[in-house]
Chains A and B, each alone.
Chain A
Amino acid sequence: MNARSIAAIAALALAPAAIHAQEPARDLAGDVDTVTGRVDAAAEKLAELETTVKGLTKLKFSGYVQGRFTDGEKAVFHTRSDLDKEGFYVRRGRLKAVYDAGDAQAVIQLDATGSGVSLKEAYAQLKLPWELTLQAGQLPLPFGYEVGVVSSAHLDLLERSSVVRKLLAGEYDRGVALAWSRGPLSAKAGLYNGNGVEGGANDNDNLKDVIGRVAYDLGVVNVGLSGWYGTLRVYNTVGTLEAGDYDRTRLGLDVQAYLDLLPVGGTAIKAEYLQGKTILGKTATDADLVKLKAGIPQMGWYALVSQTLGKRDAVAVRYDYYDENTDLDDGEAGAKATGTLALAWHHWFGGNLKASVLYEIPTQVKGPDGFEDPDDDALTFQLQASF
C-alpha cells in the first residue's frame, strides 16, 4: 500500500470526527435546566393531585345487592304472609355514602328494589368531648341487637325475627340521638318521631318518643338492654279505633355469646326478647292508624345458633316466637302467636360474594283453633354481592 492510499484511508477514518468537531458544543447546562423545569412542573402537578386525592379519600361508598328466589308454599290460612312469594326479586339494593371530615360526618343510604328507591339513612354526625357523638336526621333505631347492631347484610338467617319486624318495622326513624362509649360500656339514646319510616311515615302527632340501648361488651359475651317510651295520639275515631293516646312502649333484652370450642370454627349463640305495644307502620291516614294495633300488648323472642365451618361456610338455625296479643289466650277469637323454625347455610366466595339458602317453617302455636301447621313453608336462595 503506498503513502497516498494510507493518507486516503486515514482521511476517511478521521472524517466523522472532523464533522463532529465542527458542530456547536451541546448546551448541557441548558439541558439540565430544561429537565429540572419539567421535574418541578411534574412535582407541582403531583402535589395538586395528592391534595385532590386526599380530599376524595374522605368520601367512602359501600353497598350491597341481594338477589333472591323464593319458593313459598301457599295455604288458605297463612301464619306468615310475608313468605307467600314465588319467583325472583331484589330484596335489598343498598348504596351508602359516608363523608368523614374527622369531627363531622355525613351519611346517606338509599335502598333500591323492585318497588322503587327509598331513603334508609340520612344524618349528620358530630364528635363531641367526653366520647360523645351527636347524630341528627333519619337514624337507625337504637334498640336491640337485630336492629341496633346488625346490618341487613350480615343477618344470620337473612331476615330479622318476627317480633322485630313488627315492633321495630323499618329499622329507622327521624330524630336526634346521643351516643357514648368507653371501654366495654356503650349507650345510645335519642328523641324520635316514634312512627318509624315505613311507607314514608311522617309524625302524625306532636308527641316524641324516647328510645335507647345500653350494652356491655365483654368480647366473648355481649349484653344489651333497650327501652322505648312513647305515645301514639289518635285524633279521630276510626272504626274500632277510638280517639285518644295509646302506649307505644317497648322493652328489650339481647345477649350474644361467641365460643371457640370446635376446631372447625366459631359458634355464636344469640337470643333476644322484646315486648311492647303498638307496631310501627304507615301513619298517613286514619285508616293506616287502625292497622297499628294501637295499645295492644305484644311479645316475642328468638334464639339462634350459628356455626362457622372453615373459612368459607356457616350454618345457622333459629326459632322465633311472636305473640300478636298477649291479652288473648289460646283458643280465644283473635288470638295469634307464630313460631318459626328457620335453617340457613351460607357460602362465601371471597370477601364480597355470598350465597345463602334459607328454609323457614312457620307454625301457629296459639290461635282460635289452637296449634296449626299449614303448608306455608318457604325456601329461599340468595346471592349477595357487597362492596
Chain B
Amino acid sequence: MTRIAPLLAAALAAAPTLAGAQALTVKGSDTMVILAQRWAEAWMKQNPSKKVQVTGGGSGTGIAALINGTTDIANSSRAIKASETARIRDRFSVLPTETAVARDGVAFYVHESNPVEQLTVAQLKAIYVGDVTNWKEVGGKDAPIVLYSRENSSGTYVFVKETVLGNEDYAASAQTLPGTAAVVNAVAREAKGIGYGGAAYAKGVKELKVVGKDGQGHLPNAENVKSGAYPLSRPLFMYTRGKPRGDAKAFIDYCLSPEGQAVVTQVGYFPVR
C-alpha cells in the first residue's frame, strides 16, 4: 500500500488544475461568431468580474475543441454527429448537452446586378453540384456561374450539403472561403458569383428568394423563417460537456433571456423565444 503514495501525490499535484476561475471560452461556428461576441460583451458588462473569450473557426472546430477540453462552450450551426457525441462520452464520461439559442435562415447571395430573383432548391443543388454552369440555364444572363463555398469544418457547409445537395459532393469548381464574411465580400465583387451563408451577413449583395413547399419564392426574413415558409432555416446551437454549470450556465441563460434574444434580432438572426 505504500506504493499508492506516489499515486496520491500525483493526484494532489493535479488539484490546482481543478480549482481556480478562468475565462469562459466559446468557440466554433463562424455563422454565430458575431452574435456570440455581442452576447459576450453584454454579459461581461453585467458581470464585470467575468471574462468570455469568443473565437470562430467553424462548427467542426468548435466541437473538436469541446472534445479536446479546450473550450467550455461550442457554437455550432449544425447538429452534433453521433461519432462526436461518442468521443465526448468516452473522454469525459458524459453526454454533450445541446441548447438551441437562435434560428438562422441560410441565404444564397448573388451580385446586386444579377437579374435572377429566385431559385428552387433543385436549381440551387444543380448549380452547386456542377450540373448547371451558366446563369442562362436558370433565367439569368449568358455568363458562367462562379461558385463560392465554405470549408468543410463549417456547419453551414454541412447544412447546405445535407439539406440542399442531398449529401452529394460540391462541384470541384466551388471556391472555398474561410467564413461567411469572405463569401459575401467575394460575391459583392463578382457579378457572376453565387455564395451562401447566414442571413445576418447579407450586406452589399442580393439575397435570393428560395421556393418553398407552397411553390412561392420566399426571402429569409423573420416572418418567413418563423412560419417555415422559407425552406432553408435551421437552429443555432451551443453545446457543453454535460449539463451547463457555473459561468457556462449563467452565460447560456443570458443568451436565452429576453435581453439576449433581443440581441439575436439586432444581429439579424431569429429568436427561439
Q: A352-387: contact bitstring with B at CB < 8 Å (1 yes, 0 no)?
A: 000001010000000000000000010100000000
Binds B, one of A119-127, A260-268, A332-340: A260-268
CB <8 Å contact, A266 and B172 = no
In chain A between 292 and 310, which residues have their CB closer than 8 angstroms to a CB of chain B? 306-310
Q: Taking A54-B172, A351-B69 as contacts, is the C-beta distance between A379 and B94 under 8 angstroms?
A: no
When distances are taken between beta carbons in the complex, the residues of chain A under 8 Å from B172 are 50-51, 54
Q: B235-251: contact bitstring with A at CB < 8 Å (1 yes, 0 no)?
A: 00000011101100000
B93 at the interface (CB under 8 A from A): yes
A83 at the interface (CB under 8 A from B): no
Q: Taking A357-B6, A359-B7 as contacts, is the C-beta distance between A307 and B69 under 8 angstroms?
A: no
Interchain CA distance A346-B245 in the complex, whole Å: 23
CB <8 Å contact, A263 and B245 = yes
Interchain CA distance A343-B7 in the complex, whole Å: 9
B90 at the interface (CB under 8 A from A): yes
Binds A, one of B11-19, B35-43, B122-130, B185-193: B11-19
CB <8 Å contact, A359 and B3 = yes
When distances are taken between beta carbons in the complex, the residues of chain B under 8 Å from A377 are 3
B21 at the interface (CB under 8 A from A): no
Distance of A238 from chain B, by nearest CB (Å):
41
Q: A343-B4, A343-B7, A357-B7 are in contact. List 8 more A-B contacts (CB 8 A).
A: A219-B85, A260-B94, A266-B241, A310-B17, A311-B69, A313-B18, A345-B10, A351-B69
- Top 10 nearest A-B pairs (CB, nearest first) are A266-B94, A351-B68, A266-B93, A268-B93, A311-B69, A260-B242, A310-B18, A260-B94, A379-B3, A308-B92
When distances are taken between beta carbons in the complex, the residues of chain B under 8 Å from A60 are none
A99 at the interface (CB under 8 A from B): no
In chain B between 208 and 257, which residues have their CB closer than 8 angstroms to a CB of chain A? 241-243, 245-246
Interchain CA distance A260-B95 in the complex, whole Å: 8
B202 at the interface (CB under 8 A from A): no
Distance of B57 from chain A, by nearest CB (Å):
14
When distances are taken between beta carbons in the complex, the residues of chain A under 8 Å from B89 are 219, 258
Interchain CA distance A155-B17 in the complex, whole Å: 23
Task: Considering the complex, give the chain B residue whose CB is closest to the CB of A360.
Answer: B3
Can you give 20 A-B contacts (C-beta < 8 A)? A150-B90, A154-B90, A260-B242, A260-B243, A263-B245, A265-B93, A266-B94, A266-B242, A267-B93, A310-B18, A311-B69, A312-B14, A313-B14, A313-B18, A314-B93, A345-B14, A347-B10, A347-B17, A350-B68, A359-B7
B70 at the interface (CB under 8 A from A): yes
Interchain CA distance A155-B87 in the complex, whole Å: 13
A13 at the interface (CB under 8 A from B): no
B67 at the interface (CB under 8 A from A): yes
CB <8 Å contact, B7 and A266 = no
When distances are taken between beta carbons in the complex, the residues of chain A under 8 Å from B70 are 350-351
When distances are taken between beta carbons in the complex, the residues of chain B under 8 Å from A315 are 11
When distances are taken between beta carbons in the complex, the residues of chain A under 8 Å from B67 are 351
Distance of A269 from chain B, by nearest CB (Å):
9
A29 at the interface (CB under 8 A from B): no
CB <8 Å contact, B6 and A379 = yes
In chain A between 107 and 135, which residues have their CB closer than 8 angstroms to a CB of chain B? none
Interchain CA distance A265-B91 in the complex, whole Å: 11
Interchain CA distance A151-B49 in the complex, whole Å: 42
Main secondary structure of the interface of B (DSSP, over half): helix
In chain A between 198 and 243, which residues have their CB closer than 8 angstroms to a CB of chain B? 219-220
Main secondary structure of the interface of A (DSSP, over half): strand
CB <8 Å contact, B95 and A265 = no
Partner of A258, one of B4, B7, B69, B93: B93
When distances are taken between beta carbons in the complex, the residues of chain B under 8 Å from A309 are 14, 18
Looking at chain B, what size class is its interface with the partner chain? Answer: 20 to 34
Distance of A213 from chain B, by nearest CB (Å):
16
In chain B between 68 and 97, which residues have their CB closer than 8 angstroms to a CB of chain A? 68-70, 85, 89-95
Interchain CA distance A219-B89 in the complex, whole Å: 9
Task: Considering the complex, give the chain B residue whose CB is closest to the CB of A266.
Answer: B94
When distances are taken between beta carbons in the complex, the residues of chain B under 8 Å from A265 are 92-94, 242
Distance of A355 from chain B, by nearest CB (Å):
8
Task: Considering the complex, give the chain A residue whose CB is closest to the CB of B94.
Answer: A266
Interchain CA distance A379-B69 in the complex, whole Å: 28
CB <8 Å contact, A357 and B92 = no
Interchain CA distance A244-B242 in the complex, whole Å: 55
In chain A between 249 and 267, which residues have their CB closer than 8 angstroms to a CB of chain B? 258-260, 263-267
When distances are taken between beta carbons in the complex, the residues of chain B under 8 Å from A379 are 3, 6-7
When distances are taken between beta carbons in the complex, the residues of chain B under 8 Å from A350 are 68-70
CB <8 Å contact, B93 and A306 = yes
Interchain CA distance A123-B22 in the complex, whole Å: 46
A180 at the interface (CB under 8 A from B): no
A246 at the interface (CB under 8 A from B): no
When distances are taken between beta carbons in the complex, the residues of chain A under 8 Å from B243 are 260
Distance of B246 from chain A, by nearest CB (Å):
8
When distances are taken between beta carbons in the complex, the residues of chain A under 8 Å from B3 are 71, 359, 377, 379
Q: Taking A343-B4, A351-B67 as contacts, is the C-beta distance between A266 and B92 under 8 angstroms?
A: yes
CB <8 Å contact, A345 and B11 = yes
When distances are taken between beta carbons in the complex, the residues of chain B under 8 Å from A307 are 93
Task: Considering the complex, give the chain B residue whose CB is closest to the CB of A156.
Answer: B93
When distances are taken between beta carbons in the complex, the residues of chain B under 8 Å from A50 are 172
When distances are taken between beta carbons in the complex, the residues of chain A under 8 Å from B246 are 263
In chain A between 277 and 302, which residues have their CB closer than 8 angstroms to a CB of chain B? none
A319 at the interface (CB under 8 A from B): no
CB <8 Å contact, B95 and A219 = yes
When distances are taken between beta carbons in the complex, the residues of chain A under 8 Å from B6 are 357, 379
Interchain CA distance A359-B70 in the complex, whole Å: 29
CB <8 Å contact, A308 and B94 = yes
A348 at the interface (CB under 8 A from B): yes
Interchain CA distance A69-B22 in the complex, whole Å: 34
Task: Considering the complex, give the chain A residue whose CB is closest to the CB of B14.
Answer: A313
When distances are taken between beta carbons in the complex, the residues of chain B under 8 Å from A348 are 69
Q: Taking A50-B172, A260-B243, A313-B14 as contacts, is the C-beta distance between A345 and B92 under 8 angstroms?
A: no
In chain A between 93 and 117, which residues have their CB closer than 8 angstroms to a CB of chain B? none
When distances are taken between beta carbons in the complex, the residues of chain B under 8 Å from A311 are 69
